[in-house]
Amino acid sequence: MSALILIQVNGCDVEVPAGTSVAAAIARLELPFRRSVRGQWRAPLCGMGVCFECRVHIDGVAQQRACMVPVREGMQVSTDD
Amino acid sequence: MTDHYDVLVVGAGPAGLAAATAAASHGARVGLIDAQATAGGQVWRHDVEHGDTALARRNVAAALEHPGVTWLAQTRVVGVEAGALLVEDPKNARWLRYRALILATGARELLLPFPGWTLPGVTGAGGLQALVKQGWPLRGRRVVIAGSGPLLLAAAVTARRHGAQVLGIYEQASADNIQRFARSLWRWPGKAAQAVGMRAQLVGAPYRCGSVVRRAFGETHIQSIEVDGPRGLEQIACDHLAVGYGLLPNVELAQLLGCDLQLVGVHPRVSTDAQQRTSVEGIYATGELCGIGGRDSARFEGAIAGHAAVGDDAHVARLQRHRQHARRFAELLDRHFALDPRVHALAEPDTLICRCEDVPLSALDGYTDARSAKLATRCGMGACQGRICGSALAELARFPRNGSRPPLFPARLSTLGSDPSSVR
């Protein structure tokens, strides 16, 4: 089993194996990802960087596709609220 | 910042890995880029919990560990100039200059709108596989797999291996078509063995043909679905629906480079000759980009392009027979998994078609081209640049997708400001 990586999503700690995507880490906390322009909750659809439904803030940078980014120790992620 | 390569390969799936390995075997200086953090593409995507198959490991290592290959992970193409690509990684932008360019950009899923498809808990079938391999939690969850094509079985196997309770696999193709498909598989013994192996791993999970998921229900997350099958309508409570209607070539980069495309039905693929040369001098296209044929045709075509790009015609000739055999499998897929008209009629007037801009189907009535629909309704104007809704609308026979324009993906302003003259 690979090493565990600790990140924070909306201020909550979540520890996941190295190589896990930010998307999967968010899903472990059962959080939604973003609100659509009409205010609906959205979560990943394509899983491979095409649909942009999984956009979140990562370390202060907006519009990052959570499915494309592996977790890094100490990463700060925030979803829409 | 600029790098120069004899051969630059875009995409590190089976085709791109084979291309890079083949070109590097002749001493070429090869650059291999992929938008993902790990090589393997979708079919050999690294599984965080279960690791990789021996075949995937071998092919990834052959390319990445070759001293002639420079591996550039998390690198996406933003723009193009003659003989160079503008790329960005999480930190920097740069121009990659090439003598020969091999495109191996693979495929994405055809995701079609139906009431409820925007609910969290609804993903593509390949989409679920990709998410799960990167740690998406499925243990104990009730999962329905639906849509069309052999990928459904693979997605179900992956879901089950990760602890999901697979409630059923709902294939839209008729039972007759699936039986005909299965009977033709003997000509591809590897694929037949794979199919048998997957079914064996799915004991207890029903495989229903002629069945279409009509809608998904839920407030903030999917709770149930309605399936239209040979036995009538059926409601199924579930935690996750993975539904994909087959694969589409990712032609955007090839299109931006000016490569000739041809339509397969309503969706474009890149035209090539038997050496994988596109209509543009020095640019090759391989694998799913040239029509959905699966892993084997991708590997042979990647190798052909890699040898052709450095002028080894003898090697190219030896691989032709394999390529043709693998390609015939693609024709088989097209024939037996053709979409049932019911699938095209699932979206209702208030079903959102463009998920980036929340544009419903009814707002698109009366438009006959993507550009005027976009200008009036914002359909296709969002971050995915019409990759989802544009392909769906083409499939639903509304209008074809727009041509691709730079930037190919949303990019940082600093990237767009990179000076192409620094290439020389």
pLDDT, residue B424, reads 44
By C-alpha distance, the chain B residue nearest A41 is B220
Q: Cβ neighbours of residue B304 under 8 Å, at least 6 residues apart?
A: B22, B274, B275, B276, B286, B316, B319, B320, B323
Which among B85, B14, B13 is positioned nearest to B299, based on CA atoms?
A: B14
Q: What is residue B143's predicted lDDT score, i.e. its pLDDT?
A: 98
How many domains does chain A divide into? 1
Q: What is the pLDDT of residues B267-289, one digit of tens each?
A: 999 999 999 999 999 999 999 99
**Is B9 a member of any domain?**
yes
Asked if residue B254 and residue B240 are part of one domain, the reply reads no
The string of pLDDT tens digits covering residues B377-407 is 999 999 999 999 999 999 999 999 988 888 9
Q: Are the beta carbons of A48 and B384 separated by less than 8 Å?
A: no
Q: What is the model's pTM?
A: 0.96
pLDDT at B323 over 80: yes
- Mean per-residue pLDDT, B294-298: 94
What average pLDDT does the segment B403-413 reach? Answer: 87
Contacts of B128 in chain A (CB under 8 A): 47
- Which CATH number belongs to the domain containing residue B120 in this structure? 3.50.50.60
- pLDDT, residue B14, reads 98
Taking CA B289 as the corner, what is the angle to CA B72 and CA B328, rounded to the nearest 5 degrees? 130
Check CB contact under 8 Å for A47 and B126.
yes
Tell me the backbone φ, ψ of residue B248, rounded to 5 degrees.
-130, 140
B36 shares its domain with B99: yes
Among B308, B335, B362, the domain boundary falls at B335
Residues B305 and B252 in one domain: yes
Q: Is the pLDDT of residue A81 over 80?
A: no
pLDDT above 90 coverage of chain B, percent? 87
pLDDT tens, position by position, A21-71: 999 999 999 998 999 999 999 999 999 999 999 999 999 999 999 999 999
Considering chain B, what is the average pLDDT of its residues?
95
pLDDT digits (tens, 9 = 90+) for A6-19: 999 999 999 999 99
Q: Which two tokens stand for residue B255?
A: 């299109």
Q: Do the Cβ atoms of B220 and A32 come within 8 Å?
A: yes
CA angle B37, B39, B40 (to 5 degrees): 130
**Rounded CA separation B328/B316 (Å):** 18
* Residues 6+ away with beta carbon under 8 Å from B407: B78, B79, B415, B416
Range of the domain at A62: 4-78
Q: Which residues of A touch B120 (CB under 8 A)?
A: 32-33, 41-43
Which residues of A fall within a CB distance of 8 Å from B126?
47-48
Q: State whether B383 and A37 contact (CB < 8 Å).
A: no
As for how many domains chain B has, the answer is: 3
Domain boundary among B245, B279, B305: B245
Q: What percent of chain B has pLDDT over 70?
A: 98
Name every chain A residue with its beta carbon within 8 A of the beta carbon of B130.
Answer: 46-48, 67
Tell whether B22 and B100 lie within a shared domain: yes
Partner B contacted by A33 (CB < 8 A): yes
In angstroms, the CA B376 to CA B357 distance is 12
What is residue B243's predicted lDDT score, i.e. its pLDDT? 98
CB contact (8 A) between residue B127 and residue A45: yes
Q: Which helix (H) or strand (E) holds B190?
A: helix B189-201
The nearest alpha carbon in chain A to B120 belongs to: A43
Domain membership of residue B170 (yes or no) is yes
pLDDT at A15 (0 to 100): 97
Same-domain check for residues B82 and B185: no
The pLDDT-based confidence of B346 (bands split at 50, 70, 90) is: very high
B238 and B161 within one domain: yes
Positive or negative torsion for Cα A17, B133, B393, B288: positive
B292 touches B244 (CB < 8 A): no
Rounded to two decimals, the ipTM of the complex is 0.97
Query: pLDDT for B144-177, tens place per residue?
Result: 999 999 999 999 999 999 999 999 999 999 999 9
What per-residue confidence (pLDDT) applies to B404? 80
Per-residue model confidence (pLDDT) at position B190: 87
Contact list in B for residue A52 (CB cut-off 8 A) is 356, 382-384, 410
The residues near B302 (Cβ < 8 Å, ≥ 6 apart) are B14, B15, B16, B17, B18, B19, B22, B102, B104, B286, B287
Q: Do A17 and B137 touch (CB under 8 A)?
A: no
Q: What are phi and psi of B9, to 5 degrees?
A: -115, 125
User: Which residues form the domain of B282?
Assistant: 2-108+248-335
Q: Encoding tokens for residue A76?
A: 């700060």
Q: How many contacts, defined by CB atoms under 8 Å, are there between A and B?
A: 117
The reply to whether B164 falls in a domain is: yes
pLDDT band of residue B331 (cuts 50, 70, 90) is confident
Q: For residue B422, what pLDDT is reported?
A: 56
Give B38-64 pLDDT, tens digit per residue: 999 999 999 999 999 999 999 999 999
A80 touches B at CB < 8 Å: no
Torsion (CA) A61, A64, A70, A75 in degrees, nearest 10: 30
Q: Contacts of residue B127 in chain A, CB cutoff 8 Å?
A: 44-48
A76 touches B: beta carbon within 8 Å: no
* A77 touches A56 (CB < 8 A): yes
The reply to whether B158 and B236 lie within a common domain is yes
- Domain end, chosen from B314, B335, B356, is at B335
- Provide the CATH number for the domain around residue A8: 3.10.20.440
What is the strand order of the sheet A12-17 is part of?
A: A12-17, A4-9, A76-78, A55-58, A61-65
Residues B363 and B296 placed together within one structural domain of the fold: no
Q: B225 lies in a domain?
A: yes
Using CA coordinates, name the residue in chain A closest to B106. Answer: A48
Contact flag A20-B383 (C-beta cutoff 8 Å): no
**Quick check: A47 and B49 CB within 8 A?**
no
Mean predicted confidence (pLDDT) in B243-266: 96
What DSSP state is assigned to residue A20? -
Residue of B35, B121, B127 lying closest to A47 (CB–CB):
B127
In a domain, B143, yes or no: yes
Give the pair of three-digit tokens for residue A26.
Answer: 């968010």
Please tell me which of the candidates A24, A46, A52 has its beta carbon nearest to residue B134. A24
Q: Inter-chain contact A43–B111, Cβ cutoff 8 Å?
A: no
Same domain, yes or no: B82 and B142 = no
Residues B151 and B104 in one domain: no
> B173-202, pLDDT tens digit by residue?
999 999 999 998 888 888 888 888 998 899
Q: Is residue B375 part of a domain?
A: yes
